[in-house]
Amino acid sequence: MSAIQDEIVQALQRSAERLRLPGLPGALADELNAMAGKVYEPCVVAVVGRVKAGKSTFINALLGAREDLATVGTTETTATINYFRYGNPADPARPVRCHWRGGGYEDMPPDFLHQLQGNDEETLRRADGIAYLEYQLPLDYLRRVTLVDTPGTGAVVSQHQGRTAEYMRLYGQLRERHDRETQQIGETSDAIIYLIGAVARATDRDFLEEFGQATQGRSSASNAIGVMAKIDLSPEVMARREALSGKIAGQLKDSLNCVMPISAGLKRALDWLMADGEAGLQRLMDGLRRVPPPRLEKLLSSDEFYGDHEFDDCPLSTAERRALKGPLDWAVFTTVARLAADPERDRDAVVGELERMAGFAPLHAVLESHFLKRSELLRAYRILSDARRLVRSLRYDRLPVLREREREDSARRDRFLAFIRGAGGDPAVAQELTEWVKKATVPQVSPVAEAIDAAERALGRAYHELEGFNADFEALQTLERHSELFTDQELDTLRGLLGLYGLQTAERLPSTQPTDLDEIGRHQQHWLQVSQSGRPAARRAVAERAVARLGLILDELDDADAAGEA
């Protein structure tokens, strides 16, 4: 993507220079230049959802760090915006960089996060002064993307009844800002993961409504996926998770690329149990398998029975049982415990089943193909979209103002010139004054309109080229998913043509006679015939994209020949 990134940067910078004209705000050109400076930055992926949907637990599970990175278990009032970037903190003892709303930042120790927990006025004031928290982590996952954990939308106020008026004022102010900032991050991020947690009832309708509230009709399947993050809370949902998520994805296909059912809680449980190799899981299995199955089932029916009562037929004390449970949520622990206690499963089988139920392997595959491999494209696409929107606003907002001003200036110029002609006096002075009036009222609309036209053309060309690259990428994904539909020679040819080995024309074509127009034309005709055949839809779709890409290559080579002849 480096070549197209370079082109986008140049298009943005040239557009900025063209638009440095009288009558246009200088900040506009500065904003375009700032956009150019962000093209090479990692793609920003926001995790968006309602309050308490489990966004922080999800990010911790996604990154797979031993310790929680995003703070979980806090009240909604103290939630913060958290950025997770690639790198290492300047001071490992102070890994949390706190950016203040008033400006500046301060590196904080981990226990700073504990000061953001609570429902008192002091905690709210402290949280209200924070713009966002930043974590730099040496995780390969973050080399290509920056993850943003948003506070979420929606609020639950009933639990705060009886609080002071000042508390409620601070609470309302913070929640309003969180709602606004969550929406803004969702609108300005390069890609979005819409996450939902528990629903009132495990019905298709409830999940659809929850995703509808999360996306609010603003998402696009090109850069958004949905995640059902708490499928472990309902045995019914867990049992039919694949069918349920597939049905929801089909009904939201214009808004979400796919819907993935996962259990972030089970994934974090596995992370905790496997933190010291497999010793933690083995201790759990050994301990629970000492308990008679009838007693264990009764223990797992209630967290109170499990943790607070001694039983004669249970060889584990309450302290031992609590140690085995550790920090795990009760619903998650019961799922893990039943698997770990099954004598028919060895350790690998327990791990395999927990991984299958957690669903993170398929999720990682989707994120890799849809976000990570397309990270540069997604970022460039969003920046170009913003730039085109900005320039387009000049045409519809600024130009009418300039035209009206020019009409007023023209009428004023005509009045002045008429007055000079009728005033008599020294002809030389009259001529000098006439020239001065004409220079003072130089038309501005024409050069501004031309600059806007040129900027729109440059940005439009880059945008449409990006759309072509995205279409190539999607065809490549289809090709790899359905490789059995193609011969080895076709696979090699199509992988090159669709940009797997490089985006330049010479890299897309076979090394033998790469610019032979007749040969390229024959290839195009071959794939045209394939695209019109009754063969599988995936093969036809790839063939259609091959025809389009070969057409673009032929146009490019024709233009090069024409320029050479000229």
The residue with greater pLDDT, 241 or 31, is 31
Residue 470: pLDDT over 80: yes
Weakest mean pLDDT among 15-19, 245-249, 519-523: 245-249
Dihedrals φ, ψ of 46, to 5°?
-100, 140
Q: How does DSSP assign 172-201, residue by residue?
A: HHHHHHHHHHHHHHHHHSSEEEEEE---SS
- Identify the band that residue 159 occupies on the pLDDT scale cut at 50, 70 and 90: very low
Buried b (16+ CB within 10 A) or exposed e, 199-221: beebeeeebeebbeebbeeebee
* pLDDT reported for residue 106: 94
* pLDDT reported for residue 531: 92
19 and 451 Cβ atoms separated by less than 8 Å: yes
Give SS3 for 509.
Answer: coil
As a whole number of angstroms, the distance between CA 440 and CA 449 comes to 20
Please compute, for residue 402, the number of CA atoms within 13 A of its CA located in the half-sphere on the CB side: 20
> What integer best gives the mean pLDDT of the chain?
85
Q: Which amino acid is at 321?
A: R
Q: Which of 493, 495, 467, 466 is nearest to 479 (CA)?
A: 495
Domain ranges of the chain: 41-263+363-378, 265-358, 482-566
Q: Which amino acid is at 95?
A: P
Task: Indicate the burial class of 483 (C-beta count within 10 angstroms; 0-12, 13-18, 19 or more).
Answer: middle
* pLDDT reported for residue 215: 64
As a whole number of angstroms, the distance between CA 373 and CA 359 comes to 20
The residue with greater pLDDT, 170 or 91, is 91
In what side-by-side order are the strands of the sheet with 96-100? 105-108, 96-100, 130-137, 82-86, 145-149, 43-49, 191-196, 224-228, 259-261
Residue 118: pLDDT over 80: no
Specify which residues 515 forms β-bridges with: none
163's tokens: 């609080």
User: Average of pLDDT values for 161-171?
Assistant: 69
Per-residue CA distances from 178 to 80, 218, 444 (Å): 8, 18, 43
As a whole number of angstroms, the distance between CA 15 and CA 8 comes to 10
263's tokens: 């259990």
Q: Which of 252, 200, 205, 250 is nearest to 230 (CA)?
A: 200
Weakest mean pLDDT among 87-101, 109-123, 237-251: 109-123
Per-residue CA distances from 97 to 47, 56, 181 (Å): 20, 17, 19
Q: How large is the angle between the packed helices 375-393 and 2-18, nearest 10 degrees?
A: 20
Give SS3 for 369.
Answer: helix
- Identify the band that residue 324 occupies on the pLDDT scale cut at 50, 70 and 90: very high
- Identify the band that residue 157 occupies on the pLDDT scale cut at 50, 70 and 90: very low
Specify which residues 85 forms β-bridges with: 136
Which among 122-126, 208-212, 292-296, 511-515 has the top mean pLDDT? 292-296
Q: Which amino acid is at 517?
A: L
Residue 323: pLDDT over 80: yes
CATH class entry, domain 41-263+363-378: alpha beta
pLDDT tens sequence across 194-240? 887 766 445 556 666 766 666 665 667 788 888 988 888 888 888 88
496's tokens: 């090159």
Tell me the torsion sign for CA atoms 545, 550, 551, 552: positive
437's tokens: 């009036």
Residue 250: pLDDT over 50: yes
Residue 503: pLDDT over 90: no
